[in-house]
Structure 1
Amino acid sequence: MNSDYVWIASHEALEAALPAWQAAQELALDTEFIRTHTFYPQPALLQIADDQQIYLLDLLALDQAPSRAALASLLASGPTKIFHSAGEDLELLHHWLNVRVAPFIDTQLASALITQEMSVGYQRLVETYLDIQLEKGETRSDWLQRPLTPSQCHYAAQDVEYLLACWHALAAQLSVQQREILEQESAYQAQAACEREATPWLRLKQNWRLTPRQLTVIQALAVWREEQARRLDRPRSRIASDSLLHDLAEQGPSSLVQLGQISEASPGWVKRFGAEVLSVIAESQALPPEEDPAPLLSPQSPAYRTLLKKLRAALQALAAEQQVPVELLAKRKQLDLWTQDLAAQRPLHLSEAWPEWRRLALQPRLAALQRDVGYPDALLQNALPQDA
């Protein structure tokens, strides 16, 4: 292939291409979208490549029930779908088609298992394995415009042109254990893209500055903002900034007048959201104090830093033992949650949604860490209960 492509902008053309895709063992895929002024990504283009041809699917023209159903069927089963850095692609396809992509492999994750680097880009992957240098080109392009420029189409086609070859090179280097981890983590990633964020307040920084009652309020406000962003299809920041949520939690206004005195609460914002926000705050403040979260330790405190250092050391040792990137075991937000739990001597939880290999690897290491920091015997006997 040399970046030549077939443009598909009708259901008839889609139906003509489907048999070849369904008969393939593997397909390379990518998407182009715009997400500047909306909560959900606006689909523009779906790129598909088999071992013979590249196809560019105009999702604006194919946004009709028969075409969406056909694509959903293809993505939900059949050939293995190969993506690179698939998080936003999976989210877009789930929102647009209500589909969980399967079977599915992420070549960025495959590369991470081999190189121990979590964020290797597609251009670097192609250069490493195929000795081909790609231009970044149309990264910030307007993918919703029609017609697309030749440059845009060339860029989009290249995003899948070399992906299968890269995957085959990566697959040849993966051990049996790495392949099992890759398949479990890819399946988990695909499922996670279909689920709503359960704890949107974890996106907020500086929560450790709040009292337990203020934490109750900001948790409720974060859920309210998430629901509004989804309902109105607007970015979270367009509903309320993180700093505004913190001001609301700290000041706890009980009237529109008090609400209007908060610097970021413009008259238009108060008129549109004021009554709802005051209701959320009032309901949160009416909850029994025993339902408030425990206070959080400052990340700048010596105690927090000591516990985080021990946690990181335990995970780095485990990552070296498992031959995986340490970031695959736990991301930064999870490290903070566990550090706060260690400080309060609460059980460290492992979600049942996590891939089995990860839970089995983490459980004994975190149980040992709890013993090391001096957990009471009663807690150690029930170490690491699984989330329901």
Structure 2
Amino acid sequence: MQYQLIKTQNQLNEFVEQISNKPILAIDTEFMRRRTLYPEVALIQVYDGEHLALIDPLAELSLFDFWQILRDPKVLKVLHSPSEDIEVFQKYAGFVPAPLFDTQFALQLLGNGNCMGFAHMVKNLLDIEIDKSESRTNWLQRPLTNSQLDYAAADVFHLLPCFEIIIKQINDANFFDIVIAESELIAQKRAYQIPDELLYKDIKNAWQLKPADLVILRELAAWRRNKAIRKNLALNFVLKEHNLVEIVKRKPTSLNAMRNIPDIESSEVNRSGVEILKCLEQAKRVEIQDHPPTLRRLIDFPDYKKVAKDIKQKITAVAKKQAIPEDVFASKKQINQLISWNWKLDSETRKTTPKPDLLRSWRYNYIKDALKEWDV
């Protein structure tokens, strides 16, 4: 396996010229996610079947011409389980490469089980054991070791021959458009940012709180994310999620009172205590009629189990007819997403909230008649 580590602009320009007319590129990224909200990109691996390069984004490089290749709709970009890679490209390139072919999802669509790891795929399809000892390595260190570089290069070196086996089966089943559409859907979902005023609904145990408490949680949840974005800190490094609810329940009026809350660390109070108290004060100014209603879990709706079972049966019938694995068509989470969309959101909220997976993209094309009463 031969590859080059690209650290200069001349090297990158030459590589871009080499791959500029290739119809298929195998791509991977290495990144770190330590205390940051956003992934820190450390390496971009690209293989066209002839030229394999590891691009060092920490070097002083202009990636403009390289990004144009990833933008080219005539070039198929192949990745394995690209959800986090999509986030990397959204952050650092400002777009998501398309069309994008996810080999992990393709295998799932072909009935090979959920979430097959890369090493497992390579063993199954190529009968090659790959070394995964560097999977938890520090990719931001410089210089990278030969072992790190070999590991990173292997990810795309083996990805391309795996794709060549998978694409034949996908084309035989006429599933190519589904694979592409699923990656587009993942990119759309990654790009969506929940509005500040709705963040509190996703906080664990928020359903236990009364409206007067939810208005505090709403303030805190919005503040926490905005600070995380501003400081590029992971949410729990701003304030741990379970501490949000504890603060809401105890309503401290001073920094000392906040320090006495179990599990609240002094460092959290030192960094953010004053801001948290301001959120509590801000919540007090909200009129009662503007308090959010108590949150209901789906399990609290009397007909939930019956309705979920009915939807699942309809999906099962469609999936069998189309020869698509049922768990690919709709997970329990996706069924719950559909029910929540109908039962929990009013017409105004639906206008600013993405439709559930079953009401958009490729799934909707198959399921729209069976679930037409849910398409509000």
Structure-1-length-normalised TM-score: 0.82
SS of residue in 2 equivalent to 1:184: helix
Report what 2:68 is aligned to.
73
Report what 1:167 is aligned to.
163
Does the alignment pair 1:46 with 2:44? yes
1:33-56 Cα shifts (integer Å, max 9, x gaps)? 111121111111111001112111
Does the alignment pair 1:10 with 2:8? yes
Report what 2:234 is aligned to.
235
Higher alpha-carbon deviation: 343-352 or 30-39: 343-352
Q: State the Cα distance separating 1:360 from its structure 2 match.
A: 3.6
Partners of 1:321 and 1:225 lie apart in 2 by 46
Partners of 2:273 and 2:356 lie apart in 1 by 37
Contact 1:307 1:342 in 2 (8 A): no
Partners of 1:239 and 1:253 lie apart in 2 by 18
1:146-205 Cα shifts (integer Å, max 9, x gaps)? 221121111111100021221121111125642121111112223333343455446533
SS of residue in 2 equivalent to 1:105: strand
Q: State the Cα distance separating 1:307 from its structure 2 match.
A: 5.0
SS of residue in 2 equivalent to 1:44: strand
SS of residue in 2 equivalent to 1:28: strand
Moved over 6 A (4+): 300-303, 341-350
Report what 2:262 is aligned to.
263
Report what 2:83 is aligned to.
87
Contact 1:104 1:190 in 2 (8 A): no
Does the alignment pair 1:181 with 2:171? no
CA RMSD of aligned residues (A): 3.1
Higher alpha-carbon deviation: 355-364 or 42-51: 355-364
Q: Which amino acid aligns with 2:375?
A: L
Contact 1:25 1:80 in 2 (8 A): yes
Structure-2-length-normalised TM-score: 0.84
Q: Which amino acid aligns with 2:203?
A: L
1:66-92 Cα shifts (integer Å, max 9, x gaps)? x23233222222521110000111111
Report what 1:296 is aligned to.
296
SS of residue in 1 equivalent to 2:191: coil
Contact 2:109 2:328 in 1 (8 A): no
Contact 2:3 2:52 in 1 (8 A): yes
Contact 1:9 1:57 in 2 (8 A): yes
Change beyond 3 A, Cα 1:144–1:195? same
Q: State the Cα distance separating 1:107 from its structure 2 match.
A: 0.9
Alignment of 1:51-70 (within 5 A): 51-62=49-60, 64=61, 67-70=62-65
SS of residue in 2 equivalent to 1:51: coil
Change beyond 3 A, Cα 1:302–1:56? same
Report what 1:371 is aligned to.
none
Higher alpha-carbon deviation: 336-345 or 105-114: 336-345
Report what 2:225 is aligned to.
226
Contact 1:297 1:304 in 2 (8 A): no
Name which of 144, 150, 155 aligns with 2:146. 150
Report what 2:209 is aligned to.
210
Q: State the Cα distance separating 1:232 from its structure 2 match.
A: 0.9
Unaligned 5+ segments in structure 1 are: 369-382
Partners of 2:269 and 2:157 lie apart in 1 by 50
Change beyond 3 A, Cα 1:236–1:318? farther
Contact 1:26 1:50 in 2 (8 A): yes
Name which of 21, 24, 33 aligns with 1:23. 21
Higher alpha-carbon deviation: 136-145 or 68-77: 68-77
Change beyond 3 A, Cα 1:193–1:290? closer
**Between the two proteins, what is the percent identity of the paired residues?**
28
Report what 2:361 is aligned to.
356
SS of residue in 2 equivalent to 1:56: strand
Higher alpha-carbon deviation: 86-95 or 242-251: 242-251
Change beyond 3 A, Cα 1:144–1:268? closer
Q: Which amino acid aligns with 1:217?
A: I
Q: State the Cα distance separating 1:338 from its structure 2 match.
A: 4.5
Q: Which amino acid aligns with 1:167?
A: F
Change beyond 3 A, Cα 1:277–1:126? same
Report what 2:116 is aligned to.
120
Contact 2:54 2:153 in 1 (8 A): yes
1:232-267 Cα shifts (integer Å, max 9, x gaps)? 111111111111011123334455454343223344
SS of residue in 2 equivalent to 1:23: coil
SS of residue in 2 equivalent to 1:30: strand
Q: Which amino acid aligns with 1:269?
A: E
Partners of 1:117 and 1:323 lie apart in 2 by 14
SS of residue in 2 equivalent to 1:133: coil
Q: State the Cα distance separating 1:140 from its structure 2 match.
A: 0.4
Partners of 2:256 and 2:69 lie apart in 1 by 55
Contact 2:4 2:54 in 1 (8 A): yes
Partners of 1:323 and 1:281 lie apart in 2 by 54
Higher alpha-carbon deviation: 134-143 or 302-311: 302-311
Partners of 2:214 and 2:326 lie apart in 1 by 30
Higher alpha-carbon deviation: 41-50 or 117-126: 117-126
Name which of 94, 99, 105 aligns with 1:98. 94
Report what 1:129 is aligned to.
125
Partners of 1:344 and 1:153 lie apart in 2 by 49
Q: Which amino acid aligns with 2:224?
A: R
